[in-house]
Amino acid sequence: MTARTLAAALLIAAIGTALAQPPKAGEPIAAPVPIALQPKPGEKQDLPKLLATRVTVQKFDGTFKNAVKMLSDAYDLPLVVDPRLVDNEGMAMCDNPVDDKQVKLPKLPNVRLDTVLNLLAEQVNGKFLVYPDHIKIVPVTVWLYETAVLQHDPLAVINGSDDPPLLTQQEMLKAKPLIKRGLVNASFKSKPLTEVIDEIAEATGANVAVSPLIPANIRQAPVTVRFANTPVDAAVRMLCEMTECGVIEDANMLLVTTRERAAARAKEEAQKAKDKQPPPLNFGAQGFPLNPLPDVNAELLKLKDQNEQLKKELEEIKKLLKK
């Protein structure tokens, strides 16, 4: 046996031994990512589909920083950690860097990748948000406001009908939903309305959709416009003005629909807001609020209903007496 043949045999044996070794704790074993999900050179990665990919992760016990690096390297995830994510458990006046916090993951066979991310983020009091080209792990409070799961009305605090915000005023501005915070920088020339809306949603990550109620001729209406540093909601409302459409805003979602449907929804929301308003206060001579003024019309209607009910009961009694 020549030296070259011997070296080749030893190399093959070494590779076989390494492959036969069980994986170290904390090393993930990635299920093969479908070819359809693997971006071609120069193409953008489809992050929602990647997060839905099923993977197998071995048991992990280490720092949060190492866990993030492990997942980023194993699955080619563009993970970013928000600097506001800090560990303040047990520390009333001090925030510790979250990087060195100890986290654990059990062995997870054949689970969605977003499940793994959620399990990891929850251990540092965080959640993750998906943007067009990256995924960010943020504090839960930031996640609540940016997704509009939790909404804050500054006037409600003044009226005493709402709890104070969980974030400072500056943090509240940074945590606005993407329909308020995302900026549109694009020019469109004779492009159909639906394509313009799709491009805005794709570029900013904001949730914008077109209702099927809109007629086909309006959906395909050519649009020529230029947006520079324009908030998403302002850009969408401008497009609606240009194409005689309406828009409905719900949580962190914009729906382009017919003007009639948008007007009906606005009327519904106005009525809900009116119903939530406290009754007007009656101020006395000294300027102190007294009991709320009664709604005279409502009281009259109530008395009228009671009177009608009494009449019906009397009629029933008369019928029984005749029998």
Q: List pLDDT tens digits, range 58-85.
A: 899 999 999 999 999 999 999 999 999 9
Mind listing the pLDDT tens digit for each residue in 155-185? Answer: 454 445 456 677 787 787 778 899 999 999 9
Residue span(s) of the chain under CATH 3.55.50.60 come to: 22-146
> Which class is 22-146 in CATH?
alpha beta
CATH C-level class of 183-276: alpha beta
Helix then strand then coil, % of the chain, to nearest 5: 45, 20, 35
Burial class (CB in 10 A: 0-12, 13-18, 19+), 126: buried
Report whether pLDDT(149) > 80. yes
Which pLDDT band holds residue 312 (cuts at 50, 70, 90)?
confident
Question: What per-residue confidence (pLDDT) applies to 168?
Answer: 80
Indicate whether 137 pLDDT > 60: yes
Tokens 């479908």, residue?
34
pLDDT of residue 152: 64
Res. 193 pLDDT band, cuts 50 70 90: very high
Contact 127, 140 (CB under 8 A): yes
Q: Tell me the average pLDDT across 104-113.
A: 94
Q: What span, in angstroms and rounded, lies between the C-alpha atoms of 262 and 259?
A: 5
| The model scores a pTM over 0.75 | no
Q: Cite the residue boundaries of each domain of the chain with CATH code 3.55.50.30.
A: 183-276
Letter for the amino acid at 161? S
